[in-house]
Amino acid sequence: MTNDLVVILTAFDLEYHAVRERLVAPQLHHHDKGSLFEVGRLRGSDCRIALGQSGKGNHPAAVFAERAIQQFSPAALLFVGVAGALWDKTELGDVVVATHVYGYHGATSEDDGAKARPRAWETAHTINQLAQHVARSDDWSHALPGDHTPKVHFGPVAAGEVLHNSRHSYEARWVREHFNDALAIEMEAAGVAQAGHFNNVPVAIVRGISDRADGTKNSSDDADWQPRAAAGAATFATHLAKQLIARQEHTAMAKERDTTSHTTVTSHGIAGIVARDVQNSTVHMSTGPESTATDLTVKLRGLRDQLANARANGAVDDATYKAANEELDNASRALETNEPEAKNRALLSLKRLRGLVAEVAELVTKIATTISAVNGLS
């Protein structure tokens, strides 16, 4: 898993550009089957976004999501865009975050009519909790233009293969009868949720309400609300992505601390253990020697050599190589000082370096051991 990267997928250009304008220096990334992504960093954050456009429909969205997961091993996958409201439970411009997704087209046809056999996917608890936190903070909406502050709603989203623009059609009556707790209706979430389920990757569906699925789609009101709804969904989703990466970093640092913690073994007999300190019958063991500045200098030099090899082999392009060397320089300078925050600055640079070369497994492994060594500094 790539601890600093979230995949965001959209269906249409309008939604894509609403996310893209929040990225810093996005770089084009080619999938070997022809799919394109742009990878950039969110402003003021260590969070990287791999952005792709799947097109309309659950089936292409599922395939695109599968490719993105296999390509980037993201911390999470978000599908972001606009949707139609159901039953007047939300206002135009509001944001809906799915608590679960209904694939509402599952059914069996019998002599006495159609019987619903839907599929449903529940949003992972962690991602739902973080989304609730973002919604409560209200900070996310400060980045939106104008004075409209969207409300954030949590509830089911219905996903099928029909573009809904009526409250009275057979399809509308079907959704009303079987899925009347759904807040929004769209055409991609079921495919994305299935791909996430198969790959054990948490998925969030974030939708801005652009119409009421009542015959007003493609009207002048719809043309006005679509960009506003797309902007609201993109803004909320990118704030959620930052929270997801912050949690990943917190979890990773906790694990790194655990690997350098001391173990206490209580013995009532003879302990055949080589230990750091022995006091009465309690043995204090260290899992490894503490790091020294000399050790870290050697590790950083090894990282530079391995980075140069990766560039020579074509695994790292020139722009990435330059940016990665800058992060190594930053880490080296920080470790040469005795300032209180030097260790944290070095760790931050190494984590950025890890993000830059996330696709080079050997480098990522070596960076991980270096981060552990920096954490071991006294």
Residues of the chain with pLDDT under 50: 262-271, 273, 275-276, 283-289
Nearest one of 207, 217, 123 to 162, comparing CA atoms: 217
- Between CA 129 and CA 355 the distance in angstroms is 25
- Between CA 227 and CA 218 the distance in angstroms is 13
Residue 165: half-sphere exposure toward Cβ, Cα within 13 Å: 7
pLDDT of residue 377: 74
Token pair 């694990």 is found at 255
pLDDT of residue 285: 47
pLDDT of residue 251: 67
Angle, CA 159 vertex, CA 158 and CA 163 arms, to 5°:
110
pLDDT of residue 345: 86
pLDDT of residue 4: 87
pLDDT of residue 277: 52
pLDDT of residue 144: 87
19 CB-near residues (< 8 Å, 6+ apart): 8, 10, 49, 51, 80, 234, 237, 238
Q: What are phi and psi of 146, to 5 degrees?
A: 80, -175
pLDDT of residue 263: 46
pLDDT of residue 313: 73
- Between CA 182 and CA 184 the distance in angstroms is 6
pLDDT of residue 60: 97
pLDDT of residue 366: 85
Nearest one of 78, 105, 80 to 179, comparing CA atoms: 105
pLDDT of residue 22: 95
Alpha helices in the chain (DSSP H): 13-20, 58-72, 125-137, 170-178, 189-199, 220-259, 293-312, 318-335, 342-356, 361-375
pTM > 0.75: no
pLDDT of residue 282: 52
Token pair 């770089």 is found at 27
pLDDT of residue 287: 46
